[in-house]
Chains A and B, each alone.
Chain A
Amino acid sequence: MMNFARLWLAGWLCALALSAHAVVVTDERGVGVELPTPPQRIVTLLPSLTESVCALGACNRLVAVDRYSNWPASVRGLPLVGGGIDPNVEAIVGLKPDVVLLAKSSRVTERLESLGLKVVVLEPKNHADVRRVLDALAQVLGTGDAQGAWRAIDASVSAAAQSLPASVKRTRVYFEVNNAPYAAGEVSFIGETLSRLGAKNIVPASMGPFPKLNPEFVVRADPDLIMVGERSATGLEQRPGWGRIKAVREGRICRFTAEQSDVLVRPGPRMGEAARLMADCLLEHR
């Protein structure tokens, strides 16, 4: 009872303090979304947005997330409202959220808006985006230290980079996203992290963030180290001609588990942790 009263009081005080806080947030569509009060019921449909909201200290305002959001542990008990590409409109509307945060590729933006919900489209794709999205989210939430959150990410990436001896730098890395094979290029957020660690990416910026490669490109580039999710890596050594790649010959392949892959492929507050994983891989196979 005491708790409830305290919570109510806190909420009331917040409302009072922020009542003059009507903000207009411009999202990635260029649409200005007006939020008269800081939203207290939030639905996110993208794991990196869920993680960013939590990093800004607003995890308790989440009322539902998409099925792929699994971090931090506190979001695991929340109702799941489908995935980013196949969200459950009825479930979302039923939760009466003050705002829905989702990616550009989501198909429900217009449907949710026509049903009277506030929708903010945010999709981080590189380091600068992560910073910008944190800023925008802090604006939406009316709270949270976006600068601080970014500094924390930045500092842990730097710390990971500084932990590496000079000999590890210039290692030529091939980061495989899946066995089509798609790779993470220099301009992807994964590539940006690799660059900050001092490693050299075999996929140059001119090829775009996630190009579908000709497998012989990898054989010709002859990387020193391969980073890959363990699911996509089945049979990697047996691919035709790959036996002569230095990394395969010397067994310098890091196979990331599904949980580690989640950390690596989400541009959000855990990019520092991702940098740590990549740095550990570089250290292990120096």
Chain B
Amino acid sequence: MKSQHRRAMVLGIVLMVLAMALLVLGAGIGSTGFENLLAASDDPVALQIVRDIRLPRTLGAWLAGALLGLAGAVAQGLFRNPLADPYLLGSASGASLGVAVALWLFGMSPTSTQWVVRLGLTGAAFLGAVLAVLLTLLLARGVQQTLRLLLAGVIVGVVLGAAKDLLTLTSTDVLQAIQGFMLGSTGLVGWSACSVMGGLGAVCLLLAWVLAPVLDGLALGEATAASLGLPLGAMRAALVAVLALATGAAVAQTGLIAFVGLAAPHLVRSAVKTTHARLIVLSTAMGGLLLMAADLLARWLVAPQELPVGVLTAVLGGSYLLWLMHRRSARGGM
């Protein structure tokens, strides 16, 4: 047990050091490929690009990935299902429907246009994500029955996704405009987005860390968890709120980025066996590192063009997981 704790500690340190290194590297990678930062220091445009675009973007990628990693660990613990991901409660479809409605309302009438401009697409996405989770909770009549919640989330996701398709198909203009959101991108993350994600992320992480014992209890079954004497209902509701907030914040700022939330907790578990409190923290760091690395590659590989970052997260995280599974089954485990 002691050695597992030490391993968790080491993994945490490694993840943070790697993240720091990538943050520095990320400041040097942009539309011109890799450039020497020291050589660029006397060019005001280059400096401003580094300060206002690359740094917030790189940090934003880490923060969004961290939020998704955190949400993924909470979701998998809450639903006791290794396939659970942050979008399970319908927040992804809700966010995309929010953006679609905003784009559709834009230009309908002066009043609606004004509202859309005031709310912004980010606001619309966040609102959509939160409303979708509330709808899921309403359908599941609260958080008491895990299976019911899971099912309601899947249904809300499918229905809202279809509603989004219906809206976007009516006009090529809306179809064009929503593409950026559906592909997912960290390219337009600025300092303000970073502070929103950072603030929400800190709150969510703290809450999740405090509530982690209930996830450990749940891992042993509902009855055992109840027998621990914890206020299960309230703690579950709080964890769902953490899940919804973390996912909503990430999705609103960066669009749909698949796989980070699913893969991050698995990658951590493949390295250490530990309690949920540590798993949540490590999964947060892992998610951040994963998305940050994917974002660096997305803008480096075909500079000055970009690859959609979600594609790279799937390729990176997915192939590592596959390799891991292959290695384990070759050893006779898993």
Contact = CB atoms under 8 A, between A and B. Distances in A.
Contacts of B303: 214
Interface string A65-106: 001100000000000000100100000000000000000000
A179 interface: yes
Contacts of B305: 207, 211-214
Contacts of B190: 238-241
Contact of A213 (B172, B183, B304): B304
Interface in B55-102: 56-57
A261 interface: yes
Contacts of B106: 230-231, 234
Given A215-B187, A230-B106, A234-B116, A241 B48 contact: yes
A220 B177 contact: no
A258 B31 contact: no
Nearest to B55: A240
Contacts of B107: 230-231, 257-258
A56 B270 CA distance: 65
A180 interface: yes
Nearest to B165: A86
B53 A216 contact: yes
Interface residues on B, range: 35 or more
Contacts of A235: 120-122
B169 interface: yes
Given A214-B306, A234-B120, A244 B174 contact: no
A180 B305 CA distance: 11
B222 interface: no
Interface in B186-220: 187-191
A231 B103 contact: yes
Nearest to B52: A241
A219 interface: yes
A178 B180 contact: yes
Interface residues of A, number: 38
Interface in A205-234: 207, 211-217, 219-220, 222, 229-232, 234
A216 B177 contact: no
Nearest to B171: A258
Interface in A161-212: 177-182, 207, 211-212
Interface in B102-157: 103, 106-107, 116-117, 120-122
A241 B188 CA distance: 9
Contact of A231 (B32, B56, B173): B173
Contact of A219 (B49, B171, B174, B185): B49
Contacts of A229: 173, 176-177
Contact of B121 (A86, A222, A234, A257): A234
Nearest to B176: A178
Interface in B25-50: 30-32, 45, 48-49
B299 interface: yes
B64 to A, nearest CB: 14
A241 B49 contact: yes
B308 interface: yes
A51 interface: no
A123 interface: no
B54 interface: yes
A207 B305 CA distance: 8
Given A216-B54, A231-B103, 14 more contacts: A180-B183, A181-B187, A207-B305, A212-B305, A212-B307, A213-B304, A215-B187, A217-B304, A219-B48, A222-B45, A232-B177, A234-B106, A240-B56, A261-B173
Interface of B: 30-32, 45, 48-49, 52-54, 56-57, 103, 106-107, 116-117, 120-122, 169-174, 176-177, 179-180, 183, 185, 187-191, 299, 303-308
